[in-house]
C-alpha cells in the first residue's frame, strides 16, 4: 500500500481514530499490507476485523496485535495498545480505502486498470494477463480467486506508486456486486468472457446473470475499452449497453482478435493467434483444454490495446503451464496414468468443457474415467443441468463414470438412462469412498478427470490420486 497517515486513512474511511495508550499521532504513517486474516498479518500491517458468517474478526485482534499490526480497523473499540479506526462497517471501510489508494496512484497518470468478469475463465484470464503485463511493467493481480467485495479491494490495496497495471478480477453472485467493485476502481478496459449458469441459483436465472455481468461495461467512460466475447450472444449484446469502444475476441474471423488452425492434444492447444493489427503467430498454449484458448484471446486483446507486441504476448502465453491450482492440473504419470484435477469449481459450462477435453485428448483405445461431483449454486436449474452433463458424458463416449455425493445423483441416473450401461457408472457417498473404489478401478494408461464444485471437496481427491500415481 502507498504510505498514508492515520488521519488520511480515517478521512478516507469515515472512521473515528482512537490513539489511547499508544505512541501514535494522527500524522503517523502506515504503509503496510492490509489483511482480514490475522494469520497473514506482519509488522506494520493493517488488520480489518471483518465479521464473518461463522466467526468474527474481532476475536482475532490479539493475534493480529501480537503479529505486529500497526492499525486495527474495527466496528467496536478493542482492548489493545494499537491505533484503532472505529468504523460502521469494516467491509465498506476496506473498499473506501482501496478506492482512495487507487485514485491517488491513478492521479500520477501511470496506472492502468483492467477489470475481468464472466461466468467462467476469470481466474485463468487474470493469470494470463499478469504473465503478459509483468513483462512490460510492475503488475498487481489477485491471489487465487480474490474477486469479491473483500478480495478485490485487498488486491487494490497492494498498488503502489510504481504499479503500472492493476488486473482486477470481478466476480458476483448477485445483481449490483460488480457495479460496486467498478466504483472502487473503474477499469480502463473491461473484459466480459462469458455468460453462463454459474451461480444461477443466486442470480435467479440466465437473464439476471447477463444483467449482472453487463455491469462491467455499462458504466465505463467513452474513453475506455470493452473487450467482449463475439461468440457468446449474451456478451455480444452488451455492445449496445456501453459508451466504451468495443474490441471483439472469438474463434471466428469477424472478431478482431481470433484463433485459427486449432489442434488440441494432451500437451495443450496449438493455434494461430490473430491480433487486431493484422499480425499473426503460430503458438502452442500449454494450458490444457481448447476452452482456455478464448481466455488467451481475451488477454491478448487487452495487451494489444496497451501496446504490447505480439512477440511478447505469444512468449508470455506460451510460458504459462497451469491456469491455476486445481484447474485442469495434470498429475500422475506412473504406469501411464494421467490425472486431470479440475475440481476447484464447476458450472455447467466448465463441466461440459472439461468432459469434452477428456474425450478430445484421449488416445485411440485409451480408457477415460470421469470422477464427477455436484455443481453447486444452480438453484432450480440443478436437476436438469446435472441430467444434461450425464447425457453429454455418454455421448462423448467416456468409458467410466464415478459420481461422488448424493447431491450429484442425477448425474449417475441420467448416465445410466442414456447409455443403458452395466457398471460403467458408479455412485459413492464421499471422496474417501471414491478413492477406495478408484484404487481398484484405475489401470495402466487410464486418463482420469476429477471435476466438481469447490464445495464437494474433490480437489483433495484429485491430489490424492495424483500423489498415488506420481
Could you give the CA distance from residue 36 to residue 15 in angstroms, rounded to a whole number? 17
CA–CA distance, 317 with 339 (Å, rounded to integer): 23
CB-CB neighbours of 88 under 10 Å: 11
147 marked as part of a ligand binding site: no
455 annotated to bind ligand: no
194 is in an annotated binding site: no
* The three grid cell numbers given for residue 174, joined into one nine-digit string: 448477485
453 labelled as ligand-binding? Answer: no
Instruction: Tell me the sheet residues that pair with 272.
Output: 260, 282
What is the number of other CB atoms lying within 10 angstroms of the CB of residue 171?
24
127 is in an annotated binding site: no
The string of DSSP letters for 202-218 reads HHTSHHHHHHHHHHHHH
What is the spatial distance between Cα 117 and Cα 139, in angstroms, rounded to a whole number? 18
Task: Report the distance separating Cα 73 and Cα 193, nearest Å.
Answer: 35
* CB-CB neighbours of 47 under 10 Å: 29
Helix-helix angle 122-133:292-305, to 10 degrees: 40
Q: How far is CA 46 from CA 24, 34, 84, 89, 129, in A?
A: 14, 5, 10, 15, 28
b/e sequence 228-253, b meaning 16+ C-beta within 10 Å: bbbbbebbbebeebbebebbbbbbee
- E runs forming strands in 233-387: 245-250, 257-265, 268-274, 280-285, 329-332, 338-341, 368-372
Q: What is the spatial order of strands in the sheet that 139-140 belongs to? A: 139-140, 165-169, 112-117, 189-192, 225-229, 245-250, 257-265, 268-274, 280-285
Please give the Cα distance from 158 to 141 (Å, whole number): 9
Please state whether 202 falls in left (phi above 0), alpha (psi between -120 and 50) or beta. Answer: alpha
Q: To 10 degrees, what angle do helices 458-468 and 431-441 make? A: 30
Q: Helices 90-106 and 6-13 sit at what angle, rounded to 10 degrees?
A: 110
Task: Determine if residue 119 is labeled as part of a ligand binding site.
Answer: yes
What are the residues facing 260 on neighbouring strands? 272
Q: Give exposure, 385-416, as e/b (b: 16+ Cβ within 10 Å).
A: bbbbbbbbbbebebbbbbbbbebbebbbbbbb
46-48 β-sheet, strand order: 16-18, 84-86, 71-74, 46-48, 34-35
345 annotated to bind ligand: no
Q: Residues comprising the binding site for ATP? A: 118-124
Q: Residues comprising the binding site? A: 118-124
Amino acid at each position: 500500500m502507498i504510505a498514508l497517515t492515520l488521519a488520511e486513512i480515517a478521512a478516507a474511511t469515515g472512521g473515528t481514530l482512537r490513539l489511547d495508550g499508544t505512541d501514535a499521532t494522527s500524522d503517523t504513517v502506515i504503509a503496510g499490507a492490509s489483511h482480514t486474516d490475522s494469520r497473514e498479518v506482519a509488522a506494520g500491517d493493517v488488520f480489518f476485523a471483518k465479521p464473518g458468517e461463522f466467526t468474527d474478526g474481532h476475536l482475532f485482534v490479539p493475534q493480529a496485535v501480537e503479529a505486529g499490526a500497526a492499525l486495527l480497523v474495527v466496528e467496536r473499540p478493542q482492548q489493545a495498545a494499537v491505533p484503532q479506526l472505529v468504523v460502521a462497517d469494516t467491509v465498506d471501510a476496506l473498499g473506501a480505502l482501496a478506492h482512495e489508494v487507487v485514485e491517488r496512484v491513478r492521479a500520477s497518470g501511470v496506472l492502468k486498470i483492467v477489470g475481468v468478469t464472466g461466468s467462467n475463465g476469470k481466474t485463468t484470464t487474470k493469470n494470463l494477463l499478469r504473465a503478459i503485463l509483468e513483462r512490460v511493467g510492475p503488475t498487481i493481480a489477485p491471489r487465487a480467486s480474490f474477486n469479491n467485495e473483500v478480495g478485490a479491494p485487498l488486491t487494490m490495496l497492494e498498488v503502489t506508486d510504481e504499479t503500472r497495471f492493476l488486473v482486477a478480477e470481478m466476480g458476483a453472485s448477485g445483481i449490483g456486486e460488480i457495479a460496486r467493485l467498478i466504483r472502487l476502481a473503474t477499469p480502463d478496459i473491461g473484459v466480459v468472457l462469458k455468460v453462463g449458469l454459474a451461480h444461477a441459483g443466486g442470480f435467479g436465472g440466465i437473464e439476471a446473470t447477463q444483467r449482472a455481468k453487463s455491469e462491467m461495461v455499462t458504466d465505463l467512460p467513452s474513453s475506455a475499452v470493452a473487450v467482449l466475447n463475439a461468440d457468446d450472444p449474451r456478451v455480444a449484446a452488451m455492445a449496445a449497453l456501453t459508451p466504451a469502444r468495443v474490441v471483439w475476441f472469438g474463434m471466428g474471423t469477424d472478431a478482431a482478435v481470433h484463433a485459427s488452425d486449432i489442434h488440441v492434444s494432451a500437451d495443450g492447444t496449438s493455434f494461430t493467434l490473430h491480433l487486431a493489427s493484422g499480425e499473426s503467430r503460430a503458438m502452442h498454449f500449454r494450458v490444457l483444454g481448447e476452452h482456455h484458448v478464448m481466455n488467451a484471446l481475451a488477454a491478448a486483446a487487452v495487451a494489444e490495446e496497451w501496446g504490447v507486441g505480439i512477440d511478447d504476448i505469444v512468449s508470455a502465453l506460451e510460458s504459462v503451464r497451469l491456469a491455476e491450482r486445481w484447474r485442469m492440473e495434470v498429475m500422475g504419470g506412473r504406469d501411464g496414468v494421467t490425472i486431470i484435477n479440475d475440481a476447484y469449481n464447476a458450472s455447467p459450462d466448465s463441466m461440459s468443457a472439461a468432459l469434452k477435453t477428456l474425450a478430445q485428448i484421449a488416445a485411440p483405445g485409451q480408457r477415460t474415467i470421469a470422477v464427477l461431483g455436484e455443481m453447486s449454486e444452480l438453484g432450480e436449474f440443478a436437476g436438469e443441468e446435472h441430467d444434461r452433463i450425464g447425457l453429454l458424458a455418454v455421448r462423448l463416449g467416456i468409458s467410466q463414470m464415478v459420481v461422488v455425493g448424493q447431491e450429484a445423483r442425477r448425474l449417475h441416473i441420467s448416465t445410466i438412462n442414456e447409455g443403458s450401461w452395466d457398471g460403467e457408472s458408479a455412485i459413492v457417498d464421499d471422496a474417501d469412498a471414491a478413492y477406495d473404489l478408484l484404487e481398484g478401478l484405475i489401470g495402466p494408461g487410464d486418463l482420469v478427470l476429477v471435476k466438481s464444485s469447490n464445495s464437494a471437496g474433490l480437489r483433495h481427491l484429485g491430489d490424492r490420486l495424483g500423489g498415488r500415481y506420481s
